[in-house]
Structure 1
Amino acid sequence: MQVNPSFRLAYVPGVTPGKWARVWGERLPDVPLDLVAVPSTDGERSLREGDADAGLVRLPVDRDVLSAIPLYTETTVVVFPKDHWLAAADEVALADLADDVVFHPLDDTLGWTDLPGRPAIERPATTADAIELVAANVGVLLVPQSLARLHHRRDLTYRPVADAPQSQVALSWPQEQTTDLVEEFIGIVRGRTVNSSRGRGAVQAAAEPEPKKKATQPRKPQQQKPQPQKSGAKPRPKPKAATAKRGKPKRRS
């Protein structure tokens, strides 16, 4: 089997592949894992053009070309200045944003069909640009919670929005390139052990010889140690050997 010199994993902003990368390093130490950070809008393109072997991307993707395993769904939050009246609420509804300017950046990850609130004069190029406008108290922004944390600022806060669209993160790869290394990473994100995995790590584990057991020698019978005598005590006399008593010879009649 031909082994790739490395495994390239693309990931979009807000996704943290660190825990899976650590497992990869433990399971396949001879295959470097190259983490490739890509913009939110370039996750699918990086896989189509061969810039990565697999990717942690946001759905949807073209299922005619790419395979995808959904991993988790993120909570959507609204980001606003700390002195905004929304800070008094524990949870926000879309109807609460009717009087606010709601930014819709070009790299939006929520796929809005009907954006709430009032539209901005123009769409910010990126989520980072939209965050700057929110900090200037121009409007608010709806994003997955991981992106709110990624662009954290001391003067901003956020609240969950229960009735907003949500973003789903998935592991994706080209359908025609489901290699052993791809199978290995699938096993890692699904929590499979090395023995239950279908990838290269399972082959390596099966090929490793079991450790030899050390031969155990029979134990020698333990001899009882003589008990030490107490000081001042007289030694016990050795018992005399028993002698048979001889009786008187019987007279012959």
Structure 2
Amino acid sequence: MTGSDVSPSFRLAYVPGVTPAKWVRIWNERRSDVPLTLHTVSAAQAPDVLREGGADAGFVRLPIDRTALSAIPLYTETTVVVVPKDHVVAAVDEVSFDDLADEIVFHPLDDVLEWERRPGLPANERPATTEDAVELVAAGVGVLVVPQSLARLHHRKDLTYRPVHDAPESRVALSWPEDATTDLVEDFIGIVRGRTVNSTRGRTQQQPAPKGKQADAKAGAQRKPGTGRSGSGSGSGKTGTGKPARGGGTARTKSGSGKPPAKRGKPRRRS
């Protein structure tokens, strides 16, 4: 699809933990004519929101069902374990599954990690959300393994986190409906991929106006002969055509030597 289907605004969905502020700022600088609206969706809901037209594009967590969706992987997050600040884990730089073997590890219903085997001991019940699980960790009931961005999102002063080096990782991607790759979507893809405003890929952007010396040089190159700044009356002694001005400059003799004529001496008196 092309720019004929441009909507009055660009709708961007994003899952918890993703911070789209940088890309939104660049969008507002480059496409101030098209407002961008943000929509927070859960990781599980994000693919369906895009397929059903609820957003033009969105930041999602992989893997997703890519039926009718395009996706560009962006980055991979570190996985951490969230624990109370006085927990023994807080004394080390990183941990492994073996270090959590005797811990109750919560597995919330909105967990975004793909597990082959989960560490530690299972809780009696699964918390409904990651936020609920964080509350239980603060109560000293167990620990929680999540992507680092979610640990930061639900940060509490009485909790800390450490990397888990052998845990699965979460990948974040930009996704959009493959049959709705509009000009606005292409513009946002370019922003996320770091293309400059003058990039030849994607849509053509307006060139910034020349400034300073570049503007002066451009203006000087376009002036017609005889109308420049060094025209007659500027004190150069030349007309706009480059010929010596009449009455200007140093007086010259007919010989063109540039020296004034020699003075004649007094006539001798005859004796």
TM-score bucket of the superposed structures, by smaller chain: 0.7 to 0.9
Matches for 1:91-170 after TM superposition, within 5 Å: 91-170=94-173
Aligned to 1:81: 84
Separation (CA, whole Å) in 1 of partners of 2:62 and 2:261: 100
User: What secondary structure is seen at the aligned counterpart in 2 of 1:41?
Assistant: coil
Aligned length: 231
Alpha-carbon distance change, 112 to 13 in structure 1, aligned in 2, over 3 angstroms: same
Separation in structure 2 between the aligned mates of residue 77 and residue 71 of structure 1, nearest angstrom: 19
Percent identical among aligned pairs is 66
**Aligned partner of 2:264 among 240, 243, 247:** 243
Question: Is the 1:99–1:117 Cα contact (8 Å) retained in structure 2?
Answer: yes
Gaps of 5+ in 1: 224-238, 249-253
Counterpart contact for 1:187–1:197, Cα < 8 Å: no
The runs of at least 4 consecutive aligned structure 1 residues that moved more than 6 Å come to: 208-212, 245-248
Kindly state the Cα deviation for residue 218 of structure 1 after the two structures are TM-superposed. 1.4
* 1:221 has 2:235 as partner: yes
Closer/same/farther in 2, CA of residues 121 and 36 from structure 1, 3 Å limit: same
The one-letter code of the counterpart of 1:213 is A
Equivalent position SS for 1:205 = coil
Asked if 1 retains the 8 angstrom alpha-carbon contact of 2:230 and 2:236, the reply is no
Contact 1:10 1:54 in 2 (8 A): yes
Q: What secondary structure sits across from 2:86 in the alignment?
A: coil
| Secondary structure of residue in 1 paired with 2:219 | coil
Q: 1:111 to 1:36 in 2, by over 3 A?
A: same
Helix, strand or coil at the partner of 1:118? coil
- Structure 2: gaps of 5 or more residues: 238-259
The one-letter amino acid paired with 1:205 is: Q
Structure 2 residue 71 is matched with structure 1 residue 50: no
Partner of 1:205: 206
Mapped partners of 1:76, 1:49: distance in 2: 31
Q: Distance in 1 between matches of 2:261 and 2:200?
A: 78
Tell me how far apart the structure 1 counterparts of residues 265 and 128 of structure 2 sit (CA, whole Å). 120
Q: Distance in 1 between matches of 2:80 and 2:200?
A: 36
Q: Look up the match of 2:248.
A: none
Q: Give the equivalent residue in structure 2 for 1:229.
A: none
Q: Post-superposition shift, 1:209?
A: 8.3
Q: How high is the TM-score relative to the length of structure 2?
A: 0.78
Which of 40, 43, 52 aligns to 1:37? It is: 40
The 3-state SS of whatever aligns with 1:40 is coil
Q: Note the C-alpha offset of 1:245.
A: 7.2
Task: Specify the code of the residue in structure 2 equivalent to 1:30.
Answer: D
Distance (whole Å) between structure 1 residues aligned to residue 151 and residue 105 of structure 2: 15
Asked whether the 8 Å contact 2:80–2:164 carries over to 1, the reply is yes
Q: What amino acid sits opposite 1:70 in the alignment?
A: P
The separation in 2 between residues aligned to 1:105 and 1:197, in whole angstroms, is 45
| Contact 2:18/2:149 (8 A) holds in 1 | yes
Letter in 2 for 1:188: I
| TM-score when normalising by structure 1 | 0.84
Give the equivalent residue in structure 2 for 1:251.
none
Aligned to 2:191: 188
1:93 to partner: Cα distance: 0.8
